[in-house]
Amino acid sequence: MLANHKLAKVIADMSFFEFRRQLTYKCELYGSELVVVDRWFPSSKSCSNCGTIKETLTLNERVFHCDQCGFECDRDLNASINLEKAIS
């Protein structure tokens, strides 16, 4: 089924919809708050130190280097810091 590109996209989208539906349900059940950040929020491309957004960042770059302030951090850690700031 996933060999068909168009069908695979629909199935993947539906799986994320179901995951979000279940997450919303569980948050309501336990009194938690679900915070959803915009799909196109540049969490990986933004510097968590100064806020500068890099134009290009390839997937094989695992360490984030900011050209403006010289900040250097693991790419995933940098993205998580930016996401934490976005919900605050």
Model confidence pLDDT, tens digit, residues 2-59: 566 776 777 777 778 888 899 999 999 999 999 889 889 999 999 999 999 999 888 8
User: Rounded to a whole number, what is the distance in angstroms from the first to the last CA of the chain?
Assistant: 41
CA distance 18 to 47: 32
The Cβ of residue 71 has, within 10 Å, a number of other Cβ atoms equal to 15
pTM: 0.69
**Surface-to-core class of residue 46, CB atoms within 10 Å of its CB (0-12 exposed, 13-18 middle, 19+ buried):** buried
Residue 17 has a pLDDT of 84
pLDDT at 83 > cutoff 90:
yes
Q: Which residues pair with 46 in a beta bridge?
A: 53
